[in-house]
Amino acid sequence: MAGDEWTGEVIMSHERPERTRPAEGWAEDEAADRGAVEAAAAGAAASAAENAEASEGKVAAGSDREAGTDGPAGGRGAPVLPELDVEDLRDRWQRAVAETENLRKRYERQMDDVRRAEQDRVTAAWLPVVDHLELALQHAAADPKAVIPGVEAVCQQAHALLAQLGYRRIAEVGEPFDPAVHEAAQVRQEAGAAPGSVVQVLRAGYGSDRGLLRPAVVSVAAKAQE
């Protein structure tokens, strides 16, 4: 056959034919790629979670400091003090000093008023005694004998006024000597008197519920001589 005549030439190809991979090899590579991708995704998620926990820890620590707590247990830490205004503190201090000084002056005025009122009250109570003494002196020239009864009446009036003011008279004779209310001026022999008893009052004493105003000056009976 003319068309199919063999010329005896061998056609040599310099190109290597492409080798084909089995389907199982492609499946293994794809599985490996998916595993790498999943591992990378898991690592990124874990890193993100760690960063989020660190951020939450910082925020919680800041909240604890603002609230005055320390640590997760809620222990109380040092309180956060507000800023102090020096000028405001100085103004408050000056106001307190001024108010204290005004209070002290007001109390002093009140005490002075009370003292003057008490002096006026006692003086007014003694004015009748003074008036009666003056009347007794006026009648002394006309009737000298009437002076003694008048002076005795004025003396009784004065004793009554002292008792009204709350001062009792200490002038009893025959009582045992009491150093708390008596002052011994002399010790003498007195017939019939108990040794150590008051035999004469040289000056009466006066006392009140608040204490002794002045002691009574007295003479005391001595022990009988053997």
SS3 200: strand
CATH number for the region 168-226 comes to 2.30.22.10
Give the other-Cβ count within 10 Å of 205's Cβ: 20
The pLDDT assigned to 46 comes to 62
The pLDDT assigned to 5 comes to 43
The pLDDT assigned to 36 comes to 63
The pLDDT assigned to 224 comes to 74
The pLDDT assigned to 22 comes to 46
The pLDDT assigned to 209 comes to 93
The pLDDT assigned to 199 comes to 95
Pairing of strands 205-208, 216-221: unpaired
The pLDDT assigned to 169 comes to 95
Q: Write out the H or E segment, with its range, that includes residue 170.
A: strand 168-170
Distances (CA, A) of 54 to 30, 57, 58: 37, 5, 6
The pLDDT assigned to 39 comes to 66
At position 187, the amino acid (one-letter code) is: V
SS3 142: coil
The pLDDT assigned to 196 comes to 93
Q: Shortest CA distance to 185 belongs to which of 156, 215, 157?
A: 215
Around 44, how many Cα atoms within 13 Å sit in the side-chain half-sphere?
6
Per-residue pLDDT of the chain (226 residues; tens, 9 = 90+): 444 444 444 444 444 444 444 444 445 555 555 666 566 666 666 666 666 555 555 544 555 555 444 544 445 667 776 777 888 899 999 999 999 999 999 999 999 999 999 999 999 999 999 999 988 888 887 887 878 888 899 999 999 999 999 999 999 999 999 999 999 999 999 888 999 999 999 999 999 999 999 999 999 999 877 5
Q: How far apart are alpha carbons 109 and 102 in whole angstroms?
A: 11
The pLDDT assigned to 146 comes to 79
